[in-house]
Chain A
Amino acid sequence: MTTSDCFVSVIAPLDNDADIVPDFIKEVTQVLKNQFANYELILVDDGSRDDTVEKVSLALKEYECMRLICLSRHFGTEAAISAGLDSAIGDYVVLMQPDSDPPEIIPEMVQLSRTGTGVVIGVRKGRGKEPFWAKLGAKLFYWYVRKVLHLNIPANSALMRVLSREAVNAITQVRDRYHYIRMISVFVGYSTQEYLYEPISRSGKHKHRSLGESINQAIDMVVINSTHPLRAVSVLGLLASLLNLLYMLYVIIINLVKDRVAEGWTTTSLQNAGIYFFILLILTVLSEYVGRILNEAKSRPIYYVLDEKNSSVMLSDSDRRNVVDDPLDSQTKTADL
């Protein structure tokens, strides 16, 4: 592939990534410079507490076409990506995790996006050394999303993806607080394509989500993207009240038909337990939605930006010396000779 004439933006969220960010910048810039006539690398610092910002600021003096957006505190990966998408100007926008996504695959993925479809989603080969429950949970989640929410999110899809300008414009219109790019880039509905790749590990350690975090995220993603659970419990509630109706009928009939009615401890407690089960379930789901409605109603910005810095590359030292030379100084020197 030769140098493409399209404008490519690469967005990478940073979160305490001081160890890996210099190598990441170097590799990505190398790939972009060789493959694309116009590019930008947007790094979004998500409130790192180590010296990530200092490391990137140094790199801004060395590499061209780079930008650093510093969020005012830690807002989470998804908010960081939103900040990047809101200011990306490219025809194609690449999202990637600096730790695990290899820069070499950028050109091929962009090419796929150009020739074929608007959105190219990176899919990891296998989930690696993740524990059993994580693999099972992920399987279950993807099945649910596909079957019930009708969103075709590829299993094991990574953050790494290429979005066309149309897709970016559509995504940036969605200003939900629960802004899961994995879902939204599928939700906006541009045809998607998968790209299988082997993830790398720059830092050597895996940033695993805990079980609690995974479950939280799964609930958020489902609840914010669909009213399906709400509908499901509505049906359940309806069913429960129907059963109750039948039970009441049964009680009346028994009352009418039989003379002596034994006090039915079993049926009463069964009925009670059943109804409470349904009521609590319904309340749980309702509270989930009420919580989301509250957060959405606040309509606060998804993130706040503390600072933005851009590349400011001076000439290399050898070039600079030629410029600094004051002709008057050199003339006086030659005159002395």
Chain B
Amino acid sequence: MSSLSELKDSYDAVIIGGGFFGCRLGIYLRQSLKDVLIIEMDDDLLQRASYANQARVHNGYHYPRSFLTALRCRANFPRFVAEYPECIVDDFEKYYAVGKIFSKVSAAQFRLFMERIGAEIGPAPKHIRKLFNPLLIEEVFKVREFAFDAVILKDRIRKDLHKSGVCLQLGTQVEKIAPNPDSSIQVTCSRTRDPVRKRQLRAAKVYNCTYSHINQIISRSDLPMIPLKHEVTEMALIAMPDELRNLGITVMCGPYFSFMPFPPKGLHTLSHVRYTPHHYWLDEPGKPYLDAYKHLAAIQQRSSYLSMLKDVQRYIPAISQARYVDSIWEIKTVLPRSELDDSRPILLKKDYGIANFTCIMGGKIDNIYDAFAELEHLETKTK
């Protein structure tokens, strides 16, 4: 790991955040720029939201109430699968069930919607149907949806970065950015473990890809915070009984749950609409900034795994044989407006307060292609 003194004085682009979005953007920018630097606070890449999520490559099934999001998923799914074939885990069967009570869509609506967006959907075989409580589940569908292995993805990304010649600075945090008179940006950074010694760089462009931390650099740089909602979330890691081991099941569309293989650990992740979010807060202009990761580390949160399992048991009795292993706690950051229609649009703010400073945030891993399209669109517009 390089020390701060090995950094150059000037870069064509500095990307803050070494998650999947930051890294993939780095590779993308390197196609047209010479010196691209990624600055990551942790000692490794893809440590936070890129790792601690349900590892789902969305194919539209998840958003039966947001046509646009579902269509974008349909477009991005094959691209992601084609670009990262070695990270795709498809050795399990995936089923979507529609709840009977409390559901916001009916089975007929769900099927119609998926047919309209062209997502594969078929009836589930009998032995799968038998797993469900018929009083609570209206219908079960077999679908085509994959998981990705975040650890393999990380190795692949690291290789890609190396191959394309993107510079990487781990264990380093960006403290603030400020505009230079020549419309470049001055970036002040320091080692995460040694914040006293500082280093300043010049960057023609700065990209803020820090997900939950997106307002950290913004507030430290005295810019108005972007309204965001942060949720403390918990996913239970479950060792499934044999009959559920090769399955991923999602129940739509209400206070239900989803479980799916979590390849890095050989376990399943279980998330529940009601019990996965523990509490939330909002970033708003004028409010003091709350550091999401420090908040997460500081709180003593009580696990809700028992509530999750108790509820799932009502729908799928076989899960009573499952064993709870651990929980993954993470901050989930969403745009407040997406709460209404359940969609997950990307956030892309160009020249946010400072010229050539761009903030990018996506809710899903394969949103990255939308971000590129939007960047290109904005680029041609300015020209």
Using a CB–CB cutoff of 8 Å, the interface residues on chain A facing chain B are: 7, 38, 40, 64, 67, 86-87, 89-91, 172-173, 301, 305, 308, 310-315, 319-320, 322-324, 326-328, 331
B265 contacts A by Cβ under 8 Å = no
B190-231 Cβ-contact flags toward A at 8 Å (1 or 0): 000001100000000000000000000000100000000000
B277: chain A residues within 8 A (beta carbon): 310, 312
B298→A86 contact, CB < 8 A: no
Contacts A173-B135, A327-B195 given; does A322 touch B298 at CB 8 Å: yes
Chain A, Cβ-Cβ closest to B313: A89
Report chain A residues within 8 Å CB of B289: 324, 326
Say if the beta carbon of B33 comes within 8 Å of chain A. no
Of the candidates B290, B294, B299, B310, which one forms a contact with A89 in the assembled complex, judged by CB atoms under 8 Å apart? B310
Chain A residues within 8 Å of B310, by CB:
7, 89-91
Cβ-closest 9 pairs across A and B: A89-B310, A312-B279, A89-B311, A323-B295, A323-B298, A86-B101, A314-B279, A324-B290, A324-B288
Contact partners of A310 in chain B: CB under 8 A: 274, 277
Question: Are A328's CB and B175's CB within 8 A?
Answer: yes
- Interface positions, chain B 271-301, Cβ under 8 Å from A, are 274, 277-281, 288-291, 294-295, 298-299
Decide yes or no: A323 and B175 within 8 Å by CB, A38-B306, A89-B310, A173-B135 being known contacts.
no
Complex CA–CA separation, A111 to B240 (angstroms): 32
Q: How far is the CB of A10 from chain B (nearest CB, A)?
A: 14
Query: Quick one: CB contact mask for B24-48 with A, threshold 8 Å, 1 for yes?
Result: 0000000000000000000000000
Q: Does B255 contact A (CB under 8 A)?
A: yes
Residue of B nearest to A321 (CB): B288
Collect the chain B residues with CB atoms within 8 Å of residue A64's CB. 302
The contact of B281 among A172, A314, A328, by CB within 8 Å, is A314
Residues of B within 8 A of A322 (CB): 298
Verify A38–B307 contact, CB threshold 8 A. yes
Indicate if the CB atoms of A87 and B135 lie closer than 8 Å.
no
Q: Which of B255, B291, B299, B302 contacts A315 (CB 8 A)?
A: B299
Closest-by-CB residue of A relative to B219 is: A326
- B314 contacts A by Cβ under 8 Å: yes
Complex contact B102–A87 (CB within 8 A): yes
Instruction: Determine the distance from Cα of A89 to Cα of B307 in the docked complex, in whole angstroms.
Output: 7
Contact yes or no, A313 B175, CB < 8 A: no
Most buried by A among B101, B175, B195, B299: B101
Q: Are B291 and A312 closer than 8 Å at their CB atoms?
A: no
Give bound CA distance, A190 to B302, whole Å.
34
The one of B195, B274, B302 that contacts A328, using a Cβ cutoff of 8 Å: B195
**Which residues of B lie under 8 Å from residue A313 when comparing CB positions?**
279
- Majority secondary structure, B binding face: mixed
A86-B136 Cα distance, complex, nearest whole Å = 9
Bound-state CA distance A262–B235 (Å) is 94
Inter-subunit contact A331/B101 (CB<8 Å): no
Is there contact, CB below 8 Å, between A86 and B220? no
Minimum CB distance partner of B306 in chain A: A38
Distance, CA A40 to CA B311, complexed state (A): 12
Cβ–Cβ contact B306 & A308, under 8 A? no
Specify which chain A residues have a CB less than 8 angstroms from the CB of B175 in the assembled complex.
Answer: 328
B297-324 vs A, Cβ < 8 Å mask (1 yes, 0 no): 0110010001100110010000000000
Q: 27 interchain pairs (CB within 8 A)?
A: A7-B306, A7-B310, A38-B306, A40-B307, A67-B274, A87-B101, A87-B102, A87-B255, A89-B307, A89-B311, A90-B310, A91-B310, A301-B101, A308-B102, A308-B254, A310-B274, A311-B279, A312-B280, A315-B299, A319-B298, A322-B298, A323-B290, A324-B289, A324-B291, A326-B220, A327-B195, A328-B195
In Å, the complex CA distance between A139 and B281 comes to 55
B190: nearest residue on chain A (CB-CB)?
A328
Q: A328: shortest Cβ distance to chain B, in Å?
A: 6
Asked if B294 contacts A323 (CB within 8 A), the reply is: yes
Q: Which of A38, A89, A305 contacts B102 (CB 8 A)?
A: A305
Min Cβ gap A280→B in Å is 41
User: CB-nearest residue of chain B relative to A37?
Assistant: B306
B280 contacts across to A, CB distance below 8 A: 312
Question: Nearest-CB distance from B37 to chain A (Å)?
Answer: 21
Chain B residues within 8 Å of A314, by CB: 279, 281
Q: CA–CA, A67 to B314, complex, Å?
A: 18
Instruction: Kindly state the separation between the CA atoms of A21 and B195 in the bound complex, as whole angstroms.
Output: 50
Of the listed residues A67, A90, A172, A328, the one surrounded by the most CB atoms of chain B closer than 10 A to its CB is: A328
Q: Encode B84-127 as 1/0 by CB contact (under 8 A) with A.
A: 00000000000000000110000000000000000000000000
Q: In the assembled complex, which residues on chain A have CB atoms less than 8 Å from the CB atom of B254?
A: 308
- Starting from the known contacts A323-B290, A331-B195, 19 additional A-B residue pairs (CB-CB under 8 Å) come to A7-B307, A7-B310, A40-B307, A64-B302, A86-B101, A87-B101, A87-B102, A305-B102, A308-B255, A310-B274, A314-B279, A319-B298, A319-B299, A323-B298, A323-B299, A324-B290, A324-B291, A326-B220, A326-B289
Chain A residues with CB under 8 Å of B281's CB are 314
- Of all chain A residues, which has the CB nearest B255? A308
Residues of A close to B220: CB separation below 8 A: 326, 328
Q: How far is the CB of B230 from chain A (nearest CB, A)?
A: 11
Bound CA–CA A207/B299 (angstroms): 44
Which residues of A have CB within 8 Å of B299? 315, 319, 323
Closest to B294 in A: A323
Most buried by B among A311, A313, A322, A326: A326
Q: How far is the CA of A207 from the CA of B310 in the complex (A)?
A: 36
What is the bound-complex CA distance between A23 and B213, given in angstroms?
Answer: 39
